[in-house]
Amino acid sequence: MVTAAATFGRSGTHDFILLRASAIVLVLYTLFMAGFFLSTPDVTYQVWNGLFANIWMKVFTMLALSAVLIHGWIGIWQVSTDYVKAAGLRAFIQLVFSVGLIAVWLTGLFVLWGV
């Protein structure tokens, strides 16, 4: 059996499930945020700060950021292994995207939780 060292999950099936689950989380977060903006006539700093003062919103946002990390990680691995044949270029592309995804996740962690 071949092990997939570069994937986020343990196998192709696991990656498939992680992609679908992360996509569902991202759709739910997008729908929630769209509903918030459509139902709030004037989004001020106080309103925005009040929304993110709730613990459930912080958890939901971190869940969405984690979904972005998982989805992007698996997605860039799948796309680059399919379309970029040069191993060095593929490794560089994966490195750049991985560092970017981790930076986005860490930024969200620091902004939301004030770490």
Name which of 9, 20, 1, 28 is nearest 77 in CA terms.
9
83 is written with which tokens? 């379309």
3 is written with which tokens? 């092990």
CA dist., res. 27 & res. 56, Å (int) = 17
Q: Is 14 annotated as a binding residue?
A: no
- Please, are residues 56 and 39 in contact by the beta-carbon 8 Å criterion? no
Residues that constitute the known binding site for a ubiquinone: 83
Binding site membership: which residues? 71, 83
Going by the annotation, the residues of the binding site for heme are 71
